[in-house]
Structure 1
Amino acid sequence: MAAVAGIRAWPRPVVLALETLAVAASYYATGRLGLLRQLAVEDAVVTPVWPPTGLAVACLLILGLRAVPGIVLGALFVIMSITSLSPGVVVTLFGNAAGPVCALFLLRRVDFRTDLSRLRDGLALVFLGALASMLISSSVGVGALVHSGKLDTESFWPVWLAWWVGDAMGVVIVTPLLLLLRRLRWPPGRPRRWVQATALTLFTGLLVWLATHSSISLLYVVFPLLVWGALTFEHAGSMLAALYASVMASVAATDRAGPFKGLTDVEVMLKLQAFNGSMALTALLLSAVITEQRNTRRSVEQACQELVEVLEHLTGTAQRTARERLPDQGGRRR
């Protein structure tokens, strides 16, 4: 508590500077991770999942608009690591920040809860935070490439679609995990929970590797794992399994291995993004439904317990009142 009080006592400019540097460093780190696996679409190179967008949305939901400078700074570091500074870079930076900021305002508009405890929160994150808001970043980014002459006009829509889906998948997969890590408590539970977590981890590692490296198309075997994770650990189990499956599928796709062997660049991108999208939606929305049902059941159980306590109190009061009246009635009869 003393350390926390000391940090809160720091001057506000120092706290803001540290937050900005932390957000920028995290954005740059996740950006470099995202660049490790790339796919070619037309004349452009894109990433199947762009984690920095998910990080940016999570930081904005937690810190508010004061996370914007860190997002812009981190995006600048990522872009400068792969290209030189130009007017198009400034436009791309604007798009990278505008998309997550739009997501923040849209989610606030619908009373979004960062604990993802309701189905409406999962739907809002998917349709408002990911699919709708990332239209801005993809349109601005690809538009800047076309305007600078680095991309042909005929290639706009294929590259735009790949950019948009990659940003949206970053929000759907990465943002829920970061929001959950903020509320994570250690240790997670009883020894029985450790056994369940170990079994889920082992089966997920084995089946996902098999599904993404087998020449037979076995990607569908991942979905029972998502159901298992959601039923056992809610968002933590299903979203971690989805993240691992997405990473392994991206590795197989970029290596042209397993179910992606022999496919063209466009076919690889379509198959990979269809898998990532359906898997992420299943994990997020199923976990939200299960969490909402369990919270509703706990609320009902708590209400019933409180009602029982009130009835017991009223019954006890009535019995005491009846016992107090008996001697008075006996005295009157005499």
Structure 2
Amino acid sequence: MAPVVGTRELSRPAVVALQTLAIAACYFAAGRLGLMRRLTVEGAVFTPIWPPSGVAVAALLILGIRAGLGIALGALLVVLSLSSFSSIQFSAVGIVAGNTAAPVCAWFLLRQVRFRPDLSRLRDGLALVFLGALASMTISATMDVGLLVVTDKLAPGDFWPVWLAWWVGDAMGVLIVTPVLLMLYAIRAPVGMARWKEVIILLVGACVLVPLATHSTISMLFLVYPLLIWAALRFELPGSVLCALFASVMATVAATDEVGPFARLSHTEVMVKLQAFNGSMALTALLLSAVITEQRNTRRSVERACQELVQVLEHLTAGNPPPGPGPPPAAGGDGRG
């Protein structure tokens, strides 16, 4: 017995270390991916969607508070990739702290309201939007942009425009990336062959309509919403969040390239238009799929209750007691000694 206990005690720190390194690697990869597309507002460079914030919140919801160390390590690696180790200053350390504190705050708030990672209730979608994204990401935006002002890297008059861009980018990362990761973590068995035909039609439609809507010189971003509603109605959360992710990526590419509906706009106008589109689309995907899933779960519960009631009535009409727990039959024979 002693060797078994010793192996478990040794393996647990190793597992935690591997999880920490995996989270740090995913955070760093998401950060480098997000930095590929940038916008400039008031001279400050920011990303319209900051995927690491979504990775961090998902890791905390799946693994708990022990994921915090991996998040901090990943944030430090992102900062190191942008500057040499010798040039790291107080502001960089503060940015790492802010990018770690915001997801931890999101995890704590979601835990207080008994958030379910499967997003099967409307209240879960609302909690992720308002607590996990909009409220918690104010911490990272305030700390990061405030440190830039304190260290004279940003003019005080530019605080609010840059803060808004930073906050929305972090919030979009949570709204778009976190549901996808939670869905992949709890992925179910593949759908039947009959539904694969509809999946293929939906994919073809997305590959045609989304690039057209995001790159056409005519403003046709509204074409994405019927596709999003179709995905939510037929495939619930997996369909809606994947469709929203693809549309958001294509819109971000068009905005940073300043083509399609984002052409001939100022940088501030591009930021406002892109974030308004991403935010409304993410809200539609999350809340609509949550409502549909909740209604279908309620319907299944009612159907099960009706089936149980029918079984009880059948036993009563047949003169038999309804199935269920009851006293055991009396032991013995016909009563003769």
TM-score under structure 2 normalisation? 0.90
| Aligned twin of 2:104 | 101
- Is 150-159 or 9-18 further displaced after alignment? 9-18
Deviation, 1:316, is 2.8
The structure 2 residue matched to 1:91, chosen from 91, 94, 97, is: 94
The structure 2 residue matched to 1:301, chosen from 300, 303, 307, is: 303
Q: Secondary structure at the match of 1:234?
A: helix
Structure 1 segment 266-305 matched on structure 2, within 5 A: 266-305=268-307
| Aligned twin of 1:325 | none
Distance 2:134 2:101 in 1: 14
| Aligned twin of 1:222 | 224
Task: Output one character per residue of 1:51-76: Cα deviation in whole Å (capped at 9) or x when no partner.
Answer: 11011001001100000000000011
The structure 1 residue matched to 2:256, chosen from 228, 244, 254, is: 254
| Aligned twin of 1:113 | 116
Task: Output one character per residue of 1:310-329: Cα deviation in whole Å (capped at 9) or x when no partner.
Answer: 2223333349xxxxxxxxxx
Q: Secondary structure at the match of 2:319?
A: helix
| Aligned twin of 1:202 | 204
Deviation, 1:165, is 0.3
Q: Secondary structure at the match of 1:217?
A: coil
Tell me the amino acid that sits aligned with residue 13 of structure 1: P
Distance 1:212 1:248 in 2: 6
| Aligned twin of 1:31 | 31
Distance 1:113 1:303 in 2: 24
Distance 1:316 1:101 in 2: 59
Distance 1:41 1:313 in 2: 72
| Aligned twin of 1:15 | 15
> Once superposed, what is the RMSD of the aligned Cα atoms?
1.5
Deviation, 1:192, is 1.4
Change (3 A) 1:281 1:316: same
Tell me the amino acid that sits aligned with residue 146 of structure 2: G
| Aligned twin of 1:327 | none
Tell me the amino acid that sits aligned with residue 166 of structure 1: G
Q: Mind listing any 5+ residue stretches in structure 2 that lack a counterpart?
A: 1-6, 322-337
TM-score under structure 1 normalisation? 0.91
| Aligned twin of 1:240 | 242
Task: Output one character per residue of 1:197-232: Cα deviation in whole Å (capped at 9) or x when no partner.
Answer: 111111011100000110000000000011000001
| Aligned twin of 1:171 | 174
Deviation, 1:88, is 1.0
Deviation, 1:105, is 0.9
Tell me the amino acid that sits aligned with residue 76 of structure 1: L
Distance 2:219 2:26 in 1: 35
Question: Are 2:119 and 1:132 aligned?
Answer: no
| Aligned twin of 1:331 | none
Question: Are 2:165 and 1:162 aligned?
Answer: yes
Tell me the amino acid that sits aligned with residue 228 of structure 2: L
Deviation, 1:149, is 1.2
Q: Mind listing any 5+ residue stretches in structure 1 that lack a counterpart?
A: 1-6, 320-334
